[in-house]
Amino acid sequence: MESLTPQIEVTPDGRVDTKNASLFLKLSVKTLAMMRTHGTGPKFIKPGRVYYYLNDLIAWLEGNEKATSTAQARLKRRKV
């Protein structure tokens, strides 16, 4: 039976490219690009190509406040 969880490729120093970051966060590559533009996404580096450190992705997920409704989430997003 095949695994339903995609395998994330991580470099030995803990970096992932945009494709693997999107798989890990369950966001599209385009969404991550928009978040970089608006400064609302996880920290990244760009030594030519865009990379994320896995620890930064985890920290970003843990740092997002939880909402009890879509209206509350929308208000929190606007405050950023």
70 pLDDT tier (thresholds 50, 70, 90): confident
Give residue-wise pLDDT tens across range 30-57.
999 999 999 999 999 999 999 999 999 9
Give residue-wise pLDDT tens across range 21-35.
999 999 999 999 999
Asked if 13 and 49 touch (Cβ cutoff 8 Å), the reply is: no
Given a cut of 80, whether residue 65 has pLDDT beyond it is: no
In-domain check, residue 3: no
In-domain check, residue 54: yes
Residues 6+ apart with CB under 8 A from 6: 23
Q: How far is CA 79 from CA 43, 53, 72, 75, in A?
A: 19, 26, 11, 7
In-domain check, residue 7: no
The count of structural domains within the chain is 1
Domain range enclosing 32: 15-79
In-domain check, residue 67: yes
Radius of gyration of the chain (CA): 14
Q: Which CATH number fits the domain that encloses residue 21?
A: 1.10.1660
Closest CA to 20 of 48, 40, 49: 49
